[in-house]
Structure 1
Amino acid sequence: MNILIIDDDQSLRFMLEEICKHAKWDSQAAVNGKQGVELFHKHQFDLILVDYHMPEMDGMQTVREIRKHNHNVPILVLTVDERQEVADRMLEEGANDFALKPVKAPDIISRIQLHVQLANMREMHDRGEEVFTAKGISKRTLDHVAHHLKTHKDPSSVDEISKDIGLAYPTVYRYLMHLLDEGKVKQVVSHQRIGRPKKLYQWYTH
């Protein structure tokens, strides 16, 4: 796996490169969005980690520029900004997910694995292959998660869904990401009075 890291903070670039080494992934790093886009055009990457606050070309502009040329590569935005409108805009511009700094290795590794897996599933779906069997997605479990969302008017957290249907948190999260990727679920960012924003999920009614 090859990861593109775009961040103007040298210490964070180093830490992310070390995390990739630990996970036995290759990585290349860029010091700003402009250099990151240039690297993206020259090499094949499985996923992009991009910082939101950068000089010259910020994370939002970088995501927008990459999405002009590639709609499939997973993009994770790293930010210290906890405002809901920023999170909403990042997703609207084409980011797949966002992670708040300070970055924690287990969290970023699991997010990378998940989004690369979802991207592979998308490719298989486009080729007409059966994604459920190939990637361990059970239709029965998918139906359980979907049923919870369809029968609850208000957005639900992963914890709430997990408790309701009796499945482990990582399993529910993986199935939610699959439904999100399929356009059947939307993500809502709820700001708490105390602590970080909370991501909630709701069945998408067209």
Structure 2
Amino acid sequence: MKILLVEDDFQVCSFINKGLTENGFEVSVAMTGDTGLQIAKQSNFDLIILDIMLPDMSGLDVCQQVRKINSQIPILFLTALGSAENIVLGLETGADDYLVKPFKFIELIARVKTLLRRADNHGLPKANEELYVFSDIEINDQSKIVKRNGQNISLTSTEYRLLLMFMKNATKVLSRTSILDEVWGITFDMGTNVVDVYVNYLRKKLDKYGTAKLIHTVIGMGYVLKESNENS
């Protein structure tokens, strides 16, 4: 599979390129945002690894431009900015996942393989249309269309998987570990708040089209999709 790596730090770039190549991936490298954007426009890739802090243009801008020409390709952000606000800003531009520097290669390769596997599964035809409905939310898992109160909601592939997991397990409390396993395919504690960040961002998107909060925090346990007037 072909991966585009856009990273301006030579040592980090060499480290990732070497590791991915040894794992059988074909890697194209760009060390500026503009170069990466041009390569992305000229060739087809299975995944893009994109640093946010680039010398000429922000990785956020590169991601937005890529999304205009390809809404499906998985994009993994690399960032030294680990705050929730910066991460959410990255997700807002259309990224599917993020990894905070410094990181271990085993974690990077796990994220890459999970994103590629999810993208491949989404391309498989289904014999029957699968509809999931809870309250005023509806998911068509064949067309990947999400609606609330009849209005389409645009989700990244990771947000979609997260919502689908909630819909399939409505009223059940889901632990952060089980969410990591199902949505990211990661069975170990990454020591980050990735689940909380994605849940909060999904909540914001859902809240735009409805007044009732449906995803609730269960303190010390995880999250649950339910109809309730409680603030959580």
Give the TM-score of the pair, scaled to structure 2.
Answer: 0.62
* The one of 172, 176, 179 aligned to 2:183: 176
What are the equivalent positions in structure 2 for 1:23-172 lying under 5 Å apart? 23-124=23-124, 127-128=125-126, 146-147=168-169, 150-152=171-173, 156-158=175-177, 161=178
Native 8 Å contact 1:145 1:176 kept in 2: no
Superposed displacement of residue 144, structure 1: 9.5
Structure (1/2) with the larger helix percentage: 1
Whole-angstrom CA distance in 2 between matches of 1:35 and 1:128: 38
C-alpha distance 22-12 of structure 1, shift in aligned 2 (>3 A)? same
The CA deviation string for residues 10-63 of structure 1, in whole angstroms up to 9 with x for no partner, is: 111111101111211110100111100111112111100000111211110011
Native 8 Å contact 1:63 1:93 kept in 2: yes
C-alpha distance 40-129 of structure 1, shift in aligned 2 (>3 A)? farther
Whole-angstrom CA distance in 2 between matches of 1:51 and 1:20: 16
Larger Rg: 2
Q: Does 1:12 align with 2:33?
A: no
1:77 partner SS: strand
Whole-angstrom CA distance in 2 between matches of 1:199 and 1:62: 25
Partner of 2:2: 2
Native 8 Å contact 2:111 2:184 kept in 1: no
Whole-angstrom CA distance in 1 between matches of 2:54 and 2:106: 25
Amino acid across the alignment from 1:91? L
Whole-angstrom CA distance in 2 between matches of 1:19 and 1:145: 37
The CA deviation string for residues 72-126 of structure 1, in whole angstroms up to 9 with x for no partner, is: 00000001101111111111110000001113111111111110111112222xx
Native 8 Å contact 2:52 2:59 kept in 1: yes
Amino acid across the alignment from 1:151? K
Native 8 Å contact 1:6 1:50 kept in 2: yes
C-alpha distance 145-21 of structure 1, shift in aligned 2 (>3 A)? farther
Give the TM-score of the pair, scaled to structure 1.
Answer: 0.69
Amino acid across the alignment from 1:12? V
Whole-angstrom CA distance in 2 between matches of 1:72 and 1:197: 25
Native 8 Å contact 2:180 2:195 kept in 1: no
Which sections of structure 2, spanning at least 5 residues, go unmatched?
Answer: 129-163, 186-190, 211-232
Which sections of structure 1, spanning at least 5 residues, go unmatched?
Answer: 131-141, 162-171, 179-194
